[in-house]
Amino acid sequence: MPRSPAVPYGDGIYRRRIRLVARGDSVRADLEDDFHRFGVALRHDGERIVGARGESFRFPWATCPGASARIEELAGLPLLARAADLAAHTDVRLHCTHLYDLLALALAHAAAGRVRRQYDVAVPDRVERRTAPTLHRDGELLLAWRVEGHRVADPPPFSGLVLRGRSFLEWIYASLDADMAEAALVLRRACYIALGRGTDLDAVPSADRITPIAGASCHSMQPGIAEHAHRIRNATRDFTARPEALLRE
């Protein structure tokens, strides 16, 4: 896989914004970062999903919009108190990762009866495998980690927590309240997506070229789909110096 980044790497910041807004029996969830701009529109009856629709505005692979059908198939699912609980009802690997995350957050948002929530994440480019990601929720700093490799070095109680694997989910939901656990889940995802800034993925013609490394990790990486998942070139944005542009359009 090419390692030369598409944007200058080392002094920049990966940024991700997620916005959740409830109106009556519906929730609108939107996400934008360097590589993606997705949305989910959820309707519910107070207990279950009545209808859900995924929207793809900016995406890395030509097949990404096809994952919206997977979101629509989840009508009838109950509202979930925890975003991570969606995994018990469907296989995340068959979905677009980001549409899946938005739906999971929207379900928890509806179950909690919240009106509005916004996450803003910043992950500075890694230097010697180290970074210091932060997460703001509704404008207030909530999490500030120091990450080395795949492990949180500081602060407590996160010190020593390995970001990869099931153990992360088990620990956050056993040790944190639901709101803080959700924020940690959002920050962990961003820490991994941010690594894409260090690779020129536009040089990869189709997703099947990287499935030997990434595996069948999402809709576009599935056998029979990856071969047709052609790269959408020049879709990457750099929000290092302009966080206010996220979800502006």
Per-residue pLDDT of the chain (249 residues; tens, 9 = 90+): 455 566 678 899 999 999 999 999 999 999 999 999 999 999 999 999 999 999 999 999 999 999 999 999 999 999 999 999 999 999 999 999 999 999 999 999 999 999 999 999 999 999 999 999 999 999 999 999 999 999 999 999 999 999 988 899 999 999 999 999 999 999 999 999 999 999 888 999 999 998 888 889 999 999 999 999 999 999 999 999 999 999 997
Q: Give 195's contacts (C-beta < 8 A, 6+ positions apart).
A: 126
Neighbours of 236 (CB within 10 A): 20
Tokens of 207: 């997703």
- 17 and 247 in contact (C-beta within 8 Å)? yes
Q: What is residue 201's predicted lDDT score, i.e. its pLDDT?
A: 87
181 backbone dihedrals φ, ψ, rounded to 5°: -65, -40
Q: pLDDT at position 177, please?
A: 93
What pLDDT is recorded for position 130?
97
